Structure 1
Amino acid sequence: MEDEVVATESKPKRPPNDRGQGRKPKPPEELKVVVPLRLSPAHKAKLKALGGAEWVRTKLDELPDQ
């Protein structure tokens, strides 16, 4: 048998974790918070049919500021 030389291909190295990498933070006006809400199964189905969180946001935006 002949001795075979197996060439190992090395993966390209990842760049270092330098500053400026990654997703930039959203501005404060675009941040959203989670608001837990307890509903009956029937109310949950109705909320989903109406459009869910987007529908709630639209309804809140329609109300005058207090």
Structure 2
Amino acid sequence: MAGIVNYIKESFGELKNNVTWTPWAEVQKLTILVAVFSIIFSLAIWGVDTVFSKVISSYFELIKG
């Protein structure tokens, strides 16, 4: 059990002293950028899905007669 506690203490020390964190303003900017591109990409996929759905429905209606 003492090994686990020591590991956690060393991990926190490593994160606090040796990790270079990105500045908060840059994190916010990049988060907004990722959110915007995620929304654009999801809308593009939705549009392609809708078009393919209509094409396939039309094809099966044509085959059905």
The structure having more radius of gyration, on CA atoms, is 1
Give the TM bin, normalised by the shorter chain: under 0.3
Bigger helix fraction: 2
TM-score normalized by the length of structure 1: 0.24
